[in-house]
Amino acid sequence: MLERLAPTIEDMVGQHIQLANALSKDHPPKHVSLALSAAAANYAVYLSAKVSEDQAQFEAMRQQHID
């Protein structure tokens, strides 16, 4: 499932970074910081989900090997 979501999440992170770049030209640093924070938060959620999925796959393979 994450494979289907990864491009969407990567696009979202990229859009937040582009927004931060655009904002940096004529907006206060606070707005740039918010855009970058949103990018980081989205990517952190994706990485957390990826780690959980990888752990679940590992546990399933380990259990098959034990049985």
Q: How far from 8 is each of 33, 37, 39, 43, 47, CA to CA, in Å?
A: 22, 18, 12, 11, 13
pLDDT band at residue 47, thresholds of 50, 70 and 90?
Answer: confident
Model pLDDT for residues 4-46, shown as the tens digit of each residue: 767 788 888 888 889 999 999 999 999 889 989 988 998 898 8
- Indicate the angle between helix axes 2-26 and 29-66, nearest 10 degrees: 160
Q: Give the total number of structural domains in the chain.
A: 1
Domain range enclosing 50: 2-66
pTM (2 decimals)? 0.66
pLDDT at 1 over 70: no
Number of C-alpha atoms within 13 angstroms, CB side, residue 22? 7
The pLDDT value given to residue 37: 92
